[in-house]
């Protein structure tokens, strides 16, 4: 292989790994374990840490974007935001079996953010419950969305 000259542009690597909602939910569980959990806000807005404590929704967003970001607009065209919203909807459906991710009726329902934040912010909620639920929701997604091959 020839050496690359300093003036050559390195090839662009495709970093899209096809991240599933289950991947984001597991990543959020790991994030909370490593960086801490909070209630009431997506993440600690006053923290000077690059990876602040977050709520379950904030952790999903951070895992999707690779940084703390307040980006959860359902009209977004950004792939990372879309992936985060999808994972939030999967978690909402896991928490509330009456919640549907069907777009046709979505406008008439409580939002995924309302369902998940209400659950996350309950007074007696613990970080252990949050981590376990995120992991269980990811496992549930994988069981329902098998690809037929070994992982």
- Higher-confidence residue: 30 or 104? 30
What pLDDT score was predicted for residue 79?
Answer: 85
44, 75 in Cβ contact below 8 A?
A: no
- What proportion of the chain, given as a percentage, has pLDDT over 70? 74
- As a whole number, the mean pLDDT across the chain is 82
**pLDDT grade for 4, boundaries at 50, 70 and 90:** very low
Instruction: Report pLDDT digits (tens) over 62-99.
Output: 999 888 887 654 444 588 888 998 999 999 999 998 88
User: 102-110: which pairs have CB atoms within 8 A and are 24 or more residues apart?
Assistant: none
Instruction: Report pLDDT digits (tens) over 29-65.
Output: 999 999 999 999 999 888 889 899 999 999 999 999 8
DSSP assignment of the chain equals -PPPPTTSPPPPP-------HHHHHHHHHHHHHHH-B-SSSSB-TT--SSS--B-HHHHHHHHHHTS------TT---HHHHHHHHHHHHHHHHH-TT----HHHHTTS--HHHHHHHHHT-TT--HHHHHHHHHHHHHHHHHHS--SS--
**pLDDT grade for 151, boundaries at 50, 70 and 90:** very low
């Amino acid at each position: 292989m020839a050496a690359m000259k300093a003036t050559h542009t390195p090839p662009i690597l495709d970093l899209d790994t096809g991240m599933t909602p289950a991947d984001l939910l597991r990543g959020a569980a790991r994030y909370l374990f490593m960086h801490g959990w909070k209630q009431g806000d997506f993440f600690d807005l006053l923290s000077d840490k690059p990876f602040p404590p977050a709520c379950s929704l904030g952790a999903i967003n951070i895992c999707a974007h690779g940084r703390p970001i307040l980006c959860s607009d359902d009209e977004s065209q950004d792939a990372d935001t879309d992936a985060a919203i999808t994972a939030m909807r999967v978690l909402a459906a896991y928490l509330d079996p009456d919640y549907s991710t069907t777009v046709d009726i979505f406008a008439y329902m409580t939002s995924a953010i309302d369902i998940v934040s209400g659950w996350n912010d309950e007074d007696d909620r613990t970080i252990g419950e949050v981590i376990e639920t995120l992991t269980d929701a990811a496992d549930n997604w994988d069981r329902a969305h098998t690809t037929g091959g070994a992982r």
